[in-house]
Structure 1
Amino acid sequence: MTVQPLILIASLLAGTAAASAAQPPATTLEPVLVTATLRPMPAAARPGGVTVLDAEDVREAAVVHLEELLPQLPSLSWAGASSRPRYFQLRGIGELEQYQGAPNPSIGFLVDELDFSGIGMIASTFDVEQVEVLRGPQGTRYGANALGGLIKVKTREPVAQREFSTEATVGDDGLWSLGAVAGGPLALEAGLEGAWRAVLERATSDGFRRNLYLGRNDTNGRDEMTARLRFRLGDPGGRRADLSFLYADFDNRYDAFAIDNGFDTLSDRPGRDAQRSTGASLDLAWPLAGGGELRSITGAAASDIVASFDGDWGNERDWGAAGPYDFFSETRRTRRTLSEDLRYSGSAGAAVPWIAGVWLQRLEEDNRVADDGRYLGDAFVRVLDSRYRATSAAAYGQADVALAPATTLTIGLRAEQRDARYADTDGIRFDPRDRMWGGELSLVHRLAGAHSLWTSVARGYRAGGFNIGTSVPEDRQQFDAEYLWSVEAGWKGADATGRLRADVNLYYMERRHPQVSTSLQLDPEDPLTFMFLTDNAGGGEARGLESSAAVRAGERLEFEAMLSWMESRYEDYRFGDRDLEGREFAHAPEWKMALAATWRHPGGWMARLDLSGEAGFYFDTSHDRRAGSRFLANLRTGYEAERWSADVWVRNLLDERYPVRGFYFGNEPPDFPTTLYLRWGDPRQFGLTARYSF
């Protein structure tokens, strides 16, 4: 284990706190509220690992997308097998890709109240109020879709004041974006109050690749449009209705890999990574006699996805005498979801505040996978159509028991059943049924001042599933449900002036029958036999530490710091001739850190420096190749007035070259040597952003 970065960040955390104590009373930190829980609650009061990036963090640390915020979030990684992050890992748990098979996410992903778990690439940061990350199993609230944790992107709510604002960004790599926000009160009959908010944004860029064969620099480009419309209605009696609509059209191209692991590609048929999603949610709340509340959250979403790629990353001209060699794959996926969450909350002032609810979801997904290719004289075309339907139902409850004036025990439990059906044109059919349960037991003890100690035991779960394809070995066609036990303990606190807050927590996780994404090449001399599948290991465990701190050091300076550390290992897992006993999880770096320093002058000038780093990690379970450690720096400086602001920014200031995904297989004729192929993260980028509010 490399300890120097850990010592450095720990020293900076301690030094930040000491500097705070030496400052006279100054501007305080804003309180942070978590909304992804059954009851909204301050982050400082919630047991468990949670991080919330507020609107200021989002605006200053990101340019256009959630991807730019991920280095600031502890214990969170992502696998770069798509143009934007879709596949997340929290504490080493999460998918690496979904090239085939049924949807079965282990990291939940919400945009407001709409569930996009497993397809979360449509995460624009324009007009976002905050980003919430809940680490560890969320068995009571979210069940099977949040075995490893949850990410929620919360957009700004409608307000009664009239508002209109615009934002524009330009940068190198052909980047430009333009967004507008409008909102204000609704004209309603007497006794009703209402507001609306409309958002429209589009962002495009070239994608940092140059295709030498086609003579183009946009074959990996991004073209992303987001529109949102929200309404809020209420009456003096406390009844409330929130109606939200979302439309996102991300029409991105995909040409990210090169045979020589560079930024110049040779593909003759570049791919596409597009997602068009529409969604609507209705959140109703009715206060009841005795202080209780009945709440209904209904959500519906439809997504059309195209994921295609040039599998040989080359062309007939450059293969020369080693060809002809050509491979192209396209997956067209449609997903439809409809969900209802109905819950009753007892009075928050009752002796034992409690919540009970039922949750229903219908998920339908259709896929068409079309592969074509040839090597030497052999050509093939393969089309697979599949149909997946799943109905999930759950009942859950939670109660808060005051054991003493300063000590609260929270008990949560959830029981869930999933019935699924799968059929495809290869004649494969599965009808799995899973009955699962999970929950949480947590204890919070409030100390003097704004300090608390907490501990929790949680159980999460993820439904079993199946691997498709006639070439899948019979003993690998189905895999079992996974269960996760997590034990955590920690401290959260703030100083009396409100200028410093910090937290630290320790955790231990035991995975039972962990689902492991892997891949294999059936014929070492034929890359067209490369396939992906999911398998069960006998077990696995992880232990770690997570800590963060924020301080206002006077009126002009604010510092934020984050550190996470983790050890993980598989138990009793063999795949072919590979024995992974004791090996780390894939995409699970041992440590991760981030520092942010923000300076604001009373005259309006500002500057922000973000530093982040993480240890190396294994790319996959099918091989032992690793990414190296990385350190990134971002800088933003500008001027803020009452109605307008302008700032210049640099991302990846030091132009660090770092991989976000790696595959290890043979893809170069005629000998097809096994090689590590890398997809690189974005290089250095400069830009300018301007905002104006009317």
Structure 2
Amino acid sequence: MKTFAFRSIATGILVAGPTTLVAQETVLELGTIHIYADRRGEDVKEQPRAVSILNEQDLDTSPTEPGAGIARNAPGLTFSGFGQPGTDFLNIRGVGPLGYPLSATDHTVAYSVNEVPTSTFGFSPSLFDMEQVEVVRGPQGTLFGRNALAGGVNFRPKGADGTRERHLTFEAGSDGQLIADVAAGGWLVEDRLAGRVAMRFQDFDGDVSNTIAGGTEGGASLSAARVSLTGYTYSGWTLSAMFQADRRESHNSYLLYHEHPNFPEAGGARLPTHSRENRQVILSAERDFDTFSFTSLTGFQRQDVTGDVAGTDAYTFAALYGLPSGNFSDPSTDYFLTNETEEIFSQEFRLSSLGEGELSWTLGANYFLSDYDGQRDAVSASQPTSNGVTNVDIETESWSVFADGTWALSDRLRLSGGIRHGWEAQSVNGKYVSNGFPGTLPSYDQYDRIEDHYTTGRVGLSYDFTDAATGYVSWSTGYAGGGYEKLLVGSATGVPTAPFEAASIRTLEAGLKFASLDDRADFNLALFHNDVKNGQMFDYEFQGGQVFYTFTNQDYRSYGLEFDGSYRVTNALRLRGSLSLLDSEMFNVSASTNTGAQNGNQVPLSPGVSATLGFDYDISGAAVGITGDIRLSSDWSHVGARKADISNTFDLPAHDIVNARLSWLRGTATYYAFANNLLDERPVHFSSQYTPSVHTASVGTGRVVGLGVSMDF
């Protein structure tokens, strides 16, 4: 099999992570790039689909919005959300939630850690000590299963493989940013038992002033630890275990008054606080037999999410009602207290082919169980649906069988395909008790259950025009399960929550992958067309002092072009960039809908244009009279304007992020200075309209500058 230089296929921002610039050669020959999301580690170049492999220097280490860094580094991805656990999500190629995720298991991009599925509460995982992140664009129902409508993201932390490593990073920046990383790995018993431990501490004070409650919003902190063990038995088994525990706390509001003259300035009567505690165990057992390999993959995960937020923003509501902001500054009149727990168990057994024969294949069976329990204690001065205590239990159970393979028809032509069939059931058990607010029932209970089954598949052809260029064409389908929204907002007034329907997708894609054998240039080009049936829709609108919620389904389509690549101009200078062009529209809109959707409306949160451009420039230390080498890196990313809601009444503004870094690579240490978001842009990740002149927003982090050091021992 051919060997070529390890490079990131994604070409977005180089962010200010502590491991962004580790001492390394200009070209690092690591052989074939493998993708493990396909369950058998094939060469990514031979995959008949668009794939981005992100390594450590591509991952955003910001504690406030780690998912945004993934989106900036993979073309076709867009980050959105409230900046709170369970509400941040990705949109891929215009396919995503039409609103925001309705429950822990409601997502159109499938997320997994070491191929073990997680939920929206698990996005994004704590991004420290990562080997790579695999982003597969287009429906991935065959291998990822349910809710891979738009694609899949597989996170691969570094495991225990016996390699000796001792690594330490410390970084300090403006607004109280601190990052400390430590990792160590090696043999515990030579050639028999390997171990690795990694820890991270992150803190950021925030940069959004709250002039009503006092204090600062936009801050976040993270404490995380991971232990990995790998054992090799005399009988040929490889047994691995990963244990992780982390706690993330954030202080973000999605109710900031967008038209405020000092935007972003917060006016909540309570400082928002959200936390997510995650405990995860992944166990794997693998063995090669004469003609195939066997893998057992077991996952346990528990996530506890809490929230304490004001239900109003004084500046937003002052503009809405024409009253002084002080009328909305009582922390006891409008708030939401939430306490949510999700436990996930998954088990997969699979058989896979060995070696590099004409046929590469895998087949298996998967079981998934999610048990969600949530409590919401809400108080509102005006909304009946935002008063009282609601307890909700949602159980989702799924079984599936799958097969996937690639057949080499000749030295250059490959046929690839797969199929998956699944069964699933979801039940909801809700109990509501009023706090006495007028218009609410004293109590209300709801119990319902739905069942469904689905089949997804794919077929593709790839052809090596030359040793450097491969073209492909593929057709694939995906499925996102139906279910119940976790708020049960109708309970207060006795309206049962109806389940939203399952969604499906059909995608046609064609592309070209090129990687020059001298490592001078590489690029990837993809054209695609998505056709989504029953996309799951959530919307709310503000009328006459009341909020009205809508949960329904809507057909839509999207099509476009993606390009990303890099070019080594000289031995010292490499350029990289990407471009995504997208068009989308809704169709088959019901004439009786009250969502405001119309035929031809664009899919919300889907920019028509996004782009990146960056460079790395290396300077020999000898040329400037110092030991070691200098590297200058800078990156620019652009996200175009995008429709904010289903009715296309207003746009989220375009934003540009510029990052820069100066590094001194000296021996096994790297000393660096960085400036993240150099232009101090405040990207709006989500927005809601109360009136045409009053909008709320959640925003990203502003400019952060600082210094850091990364050392290997």
User: What's the TM-score, normalizing by structure 1?
Assistant: 0.88
Spell out structure 1 runs of 4+ moving beyond 6 A.
59-64, 322-325, 471-476
Partner secondary structure for residue 458 of structure 1: strand
1:494 CA displacement: 1.6
Amino acid in the other structure paired with 1:420: Q
Rounded Cα–Cα distance in structure 1 between residues aligned with 2:520 and 2:63: 24
Aligned partner letter, 2:396: A
- Higher RCO (C-alpha 8 Å, min separation 6): 2
How big is each residue's C-alpha offset from its partner over 1:407-452, in whole Å with a ceiling of 9 and x where there is no partner?
1111200001111111101322221101011011011112222221
Which residue among 537, 544, 563 is the counterpart of 1:516?
A: 537
**Partner residue of 2:673?**
648
Q: Which amino acid aligns with 2:47?
A: R
What secondary structure is seen at the aligned counterpart in 2 of 1:119?
Answer: helix
Name 1:687's counterpart in structure 2. 706
Partner of 1:302: 302
State whether residues 28 and 552 of structure 1, in contact with CA within 8 Å, keep that contact through their aligned partners in structure 2: no
Moved more, 679-688 or 253-262: 253-262
Match of 1:627 in 2: 652
Deviation string 1:295-333 (CA, Å, 9 cap, x unpaired) is: 111111000011332121139995346897931112211
- Inter-partner Cα distance in structure 2 for 1:118 and 1:203: 22
Mapped pair 1:444 → 2:446: no
Task: Measure the CA separation in 2 of the matches of 1:154 and 1:499.
Answer: 28
Is contact 1:79–1:97 with CA below 8 Å preserved after alignment?
Answer: no
Match runs of 1:83-482 below 5 Å: 83=84, 86-95=88-97, 101=103, 103-187=105-189, 192-217=191-216, 219-235=217-233, 238-255=236-253, 257-259=255-257, 260-261=259-260, 262-289=263-290, 291-314=291-314, 319-320=325-326, 326-375=333-382, 381-425=387-431, 426-467=444-485, 468-470=488-490, 477-482=498-503
C-alpha change, 1:513 and 1:255, in structure 2 (3 Å) is closer
Q: Distance in 2 between matches of 1:480 and 1:629?
A: 33
For residues 93-138 of structure 1, give each alpha carbon's deviation from its aligned partner in whole angstroms, at most 9, with x where no partner exists. 2236667656322111223344333123453333222222111100
Q: Deviations over 1:340-377 (max 9, x none)?
A: 1100113445553322100001110001111112259x
Of the three residues 518, 525, 530, the one matched with 1:497 is: 518
- Tell me the number of residue pairs that the alignment of Structure 1 and Structure 2 aligns: 653
Q: Is the 8 A contact 1:306 1:333 kept in 2?
A: yes
- The aligned amino acid for 2:351 is Y
- C-alpha separation in 2, matches of 1:121 and 1:167: 24
Q: What is residue 525 of structure 1 aligned with on the other side?
A: 544
Q: What do residues 252-310 of structure 1 show as CA deviations (whole Å, max 9, x unaligned)?
A: 22345333542222222122221100001012111112x31111111110000113321
Contact kept? 1:55, 1:130, Cα under 8 Å: yes
> Structure 1: how far apart are the matches of 2:367 and 2:328?
55
In the alignment, structure 1 segments of 5+ residues that lack a partner are: 1-25, 667-672
Letter in 2 for 1:481: A
SS of the aligned residue for 2:325 comes to helix
Structure 1 counterpart of 2:22: none
Q: Is the 8 A contact 1:33 1:41 kept in 2?
A: yes
Residue 516 of structure 2 is aligned to residue 488 of structure 1 = no
CA contact (8 A) 2:644 2:687 kept: yes
Q: Distance in 1 between matches of 2:522 and 2:103?
A: 44
- Quote the residue 2:12 is aligned against: none
Q: Secondary structure at the match of 2:381?
A: strand
- What are structure 2's unaligned runs of at least 5 residues? 1-25, 432-443, 622-628
Q: Is the 8 A contact 1:584 1:618 kept in 2?
A: yes
Give the structure 2 partner of residue 10 of structure 1. Answer: none
Contact 2:213 2:271 in 1 (8 A): no
- State the partner residue of 2:4: none
Q: For residues 385 and 651 of structure 1, what CA distance do their matches in structure 2 show? A: 42
The one-letter amino acid paired with 1:304 is D
Tell me the CA shift for residue 199 of structure 1.
0.7
Residue identity opposite 1:534 in structure 2: F
Pair 102,299 (structure 1): closer, same or farther in 2 beyond 3 Å: closer
RMSD over aligned CA atoms reads 2.9
Distance (whole Å) between structure 2 residues aligned to residue 498 and residue 61 of structure 1: 31
Q: CA deviation at 1:67?
A: 3.0
Q: Measure how far apart 1:581 and its partner are.
A: 0.8
Q: Which residue of 2 aligns with 1:600?
A: 618
**Which one of 599, 606, 629 corresponds to residue 581 of structure 1?**
599
- The verdict on how the C-alpha distance between 1:473 and 1:75 changes in structure 2, with shifts beyond 3 A counting, is farther
TM-superposed CA distance for 1:55, in Å, is: 2.8
- 2:538 maps to a residue whose letter is S
- The answer to whether the Cα contact below 8 Å between 2:574 and 2:615 also exists between their aligned partners in 1 is yes
**Identity within the alignment, %:** 20
Residue 657 of structure 1 corresponds to 682
Cα distance, 1:543 vs structure 2: 0.8
CA separation in 2, counterparts of 1:324 and 1:222? 25
Q: Aligned in 2, Cα 1:353/1:589: closer, same or farther, shift over 3 Å?
A: same
Task: Kindly indicate whether the alpha-carbon contact (under 8 Å) linking 2:641 and 2:651 is maintained by their aligned counterparts in 1.
Answer: yes
Partner Cα distance (2:62, 2:220) in 1: 20
**1:221 Cα shift?**
1.9
